[in-house]
Structure 1
Amino acid sequence: MSRWGITIPLTGVPLPRHRELIESLPGLGYTDAWTAETAGTDAFSPLLLASQWAPELRLGTAIVPVYTRGPGLLAMSAATLAECAPGRFVLGIGTSSPVIVRNWNAAEFTDPYARTRDTLRFLRSALAGEKVTQDYPTFSVEKFKLERAPETAPPVMLAALRPGMLRLAAKEADGAITNWLAPSDVPAVRAETGPDLELVARIFVCPTEDADAARSLGRLLISSYLTVPVYRAFHDWLGRGERLAPMHEAWAEGDRKRANEVIPDEVVDDLIVHGSPARCRERIKSYVDNGLTTPVISVLPTGGDPIDQVRALSPSA
């Protein structure tokens, strides 16, 4: 397998405690470390630390919302990381969700496709060191030029779920980033991107042989995420609409407990990798066998030490 990524920081592990683990990742067979950005750490700070702790790793954001930073600040943050990890940083951007953008960051969530497209185009110019004056359909920039443009502009990937954004990624970006899909879903995504675009996916992994515990945690996550409209539409497109309809009905009625209970086991098993570490590694590999370029493991808490679990899930274990 060419790439094998991990999501940092690990749940419940203080950021400074990551140093020893991150230094060991290349020796364990990991090639990538990726961050997310919701209400925990920001996406850039853990990668700045990792850039100094493990110079061999490729580092990526999956993803930074296009609404929560101004275009110039987003370019500055990306340029800073590109300077610290020359040739090893990937900027992943996306729309995020109305909850994160509007409810938590007091920003407008409008025209997500257009805003993502315009931000991508701005970043292409800005990270190349150009002075940008442009009226984009969703925002305007006047005379912006990075004072410390990176020697090599980092690749820019797009968070993409359904055909429109996947095609935009294939046409204008350096890759597509997705999540919440099963190995059997990868060909449908690949059909929109074509075979050559790098396709990254965050894969939720619960390394325990207690299937009931893994499914219980999986149901909580599925009901929290897949009731968000963009993910609901994604799974309708993938063909899970009928199986998830009872969950959506219960959620709309405010019955969170029932929403979890009515998620079928087979849906949980499709979307959450669980079992022994060896079983989990096999399942992750099946994503690659179906067309995924870069699996990025997100270790779910099982009560064990997540650092030990990262080691157990490594491709060289």
Structure 2
Amino acid sequence: MTTLGAVFRPQLPPERLRSVARAADEAGLEELWIWEDCFREGGISSAAMALAWTTQLRLGIGLMPVPFRNVALSAMELATLARVFPGRVRPAVGHGVQDWMAQVGARPASPMTCLREHLSALQALLAGERVTTSGRYVHLDDVALDWPPAQPPALITGATGDRTLRLSGELAAGTILTGGTTPDGVRRARGIVDEGRALAGRSDHHEVVVYLVAAAGPDSAERLERECRRWEFPAGADVTVGGDAESVANGVRRWAEAGADTVVLQPTEDEPDLEGFVRFAGEQVRPLLG
């Protein structure tokens, strides 16, 4: 069954998060995703607050830029959340926007090496292992968490390029595909992820999460058109869904049929009522998906 979520966009001030998270929780929406975009809300702090304000909602952090973070600190923070809110934390890591990484003096010469080292060490630490490693970017000397989670959260990797998709298939439990990914793009990405899984000899399930730009209501077509221009999506690209609940549900099914396990509705920048949007997703769209 397809998992449905929504995005709390970081262009909104952090004080809006409480009402949006509670609206999503009350509406029965399965997941709310937050972005750790520079220089807006922090991913871990936002997730901690939203988890504390809700009872069932899962919180996705999509994503934490690995050059921005020491891997031991990431492990400590995620382990804390996973112990206090077991099964409700959905962390994702990735390269981050390289211009932002340069602004803080953290742009790596080899983003792929940085991501591989960070992801491998983070998985081991969350699994309760004692880690010593001296890589190009990750250096740990006899490090282990005092409070590893009983159920380590599955780590997801954000990926767009082919090399990162293969790395995600090789090492991660899942892959996030960015908004602007067409159904055909999902199929292609899953195929490349599977190449990495085959190289690593993996046969476990690999989750694919996709952000899907969405709008509801009578003005949804106009807002989606403006959003496509903001993101500079190709004209006529099959990258959005909008309208009433049935139309949005039909769109979600198309991305699911293409290979997405989780579809996260990404509201437009000019969404006038985000609390209403997440209620619409949870109360009207979710029941139509079975």
Tell me, yes or no, whether TM beats 0.5. yes
What is the 5 A alignment of 1:214-293? 214-222=224-232, 263-264=234-235, 266-267=236-237, 270-293=238-261
- Other-structure match for 2:79: 79
- Other-structure match for 2:287: 316
Contact 2:23-2:279 at 8 Å conserved across structures:
no
**Secondary structure, aligned partner of 1:141:** strand
Q: CA-atom RMSD, angstroms?
A: 2.3
- Other-structure match for 1:234: none
- Other-structure match for 1:192: 192
Letter in 2 for 1:300: T
- Other-structure match for 1:143: 142
Contact 1:51-1:57 at 8 Å conserved across structures:
yes
- Other-structure match for 1:229: none
Contact 2:157-2:175 at 8 Å conserved across structures:
yes
What is the 5 A alignment of 1:111-126? 111-126=110-125
**Secondary structure, aligned partner of 1:4:** strand
- Other-structure match for 1:304: 272
Number of aligned pairs? 273
- Other-structure match for 2:216: 207
**Secondary structure, aligned partner of 2:175:** strand
**Cα offsets for 1:227-280 (capped at 9, x unmatched):** xxxxxxxxxxxxxxxxxxxxxxxxxxxxxxxxxxxx52x02xx22333344423
**Secondary structure, aligned partner of 1:153:** coil
**Cα offsets for 1:86-121 (capped at 9, x unmatched):** 122222100012112112x22123211111111111
- Other-structure match for 2:182: 182
Contact 2:24-2:275 at 8 Å conserved across structures:
no
TM-aligned CA deviation for residue 11 of structure 1 = 4.8
Paired with 2:17 and 2:61, the residues of 1 have a C-alpha distance of 17
TM-aligned CA deviation for residue 190 of structure 1 = 1.6
- Identity, % of aligned positions: 25
- Other-structure match for 2:197: none
**187-196 vs 109-118, which moves further:** 187-196
Contact 1:155-1:174 at 8 Å conserved across structures:
yes
Stretches of structure 1 lacking an aligned partner (at least 5 in a row) = 224-262
Paired with 1:293 and 1:86, the residues of 2 have a C-alpha distance of 21
- Other-structure match for 1:242: none
**Secondary structure, aligned partner of 1:143:** strand
Letter in 1 for 2:279: R
Paired with 1:76 and 1:197, the residues of 2 have a C-alpha distance of 25
Contact 2:162-2:192 at 8 Å conserved across structures:
yes
Stretches of structure 2 lacking an aligned partner (at least 5 in a row) = 195-203
State which structure, 1 or 2, has the greater radius of gyration over its C-alpha atoms.
1
TM-aligned CA deviation for residue 64 of structure 1 = 0.2
- Other-structure match for 1:47: 47
TM-aligned CA deviation for residue 301 of structure 1 = 3.5
TM normalised by structure 1 equals: 0.78
TM-aligned CA deviation for residue 308 of structure 1 = 1.0
